[in-house]
Amino acid sequence: MRADNQILIISKSFALRIIRLYTYLKEEKREHVMSTQLLRCGTSIGANVRESINAQSKADFINKMNIALKEADESQYWLELLHESSYLKDSEFESLNDDISKILGTLTKIIKSSRSNG
């Protein structure tokens, strides 16, 4: 099984944005709890997508994609909390939320397509 190239690219790009956001929140805003949670799940998306490349079966591939989807959903939750608690400005949140929404949509399509193809 091979993960869709687009999801590899956008999940890695998102992970890099999350790493930079984590550094900013930790150093500039002195926020540690939510940013650490976001760092963990935001970087896990791409790790699971990457791991799916070497899936042992279609079921394993779908499982990795499902884990990535759950991590993406959790990432969106932490972004919402950071925004609603005023750690993220509207423009910062909207940009990151657009990215995670695209990731969620792409993962959902991959999972549905993989399930229906066999």
The predicted pLDDT at position 24 comes to: 97
Locate tokens 């956001």: which residue?
21
Three-class secondary structure of residue 54 per DSSP: coil
Nearest C-alpha neighbor of 46 from the set 109, 1, 4: 4
CA pair distance 52, 63, nearest whole angstrom: 8
Distance CA 48, CA 36 (A): 18
**pLDDT at residue 69 tops 60:** yes
Going by pLDDT thresholds of 50, 70 and 90, the confidence category of residue 117 is: confident
DSSP labels, 21-66: HHHHHHHTS---HHHHHHHHHHHHHHHHHHHHTT-SSHHHHHHHHH
pTM over 0.85: yes
Residue 4 pLDDT grade (very low, low, confident, very high; cuts 50, 70, 90):
low
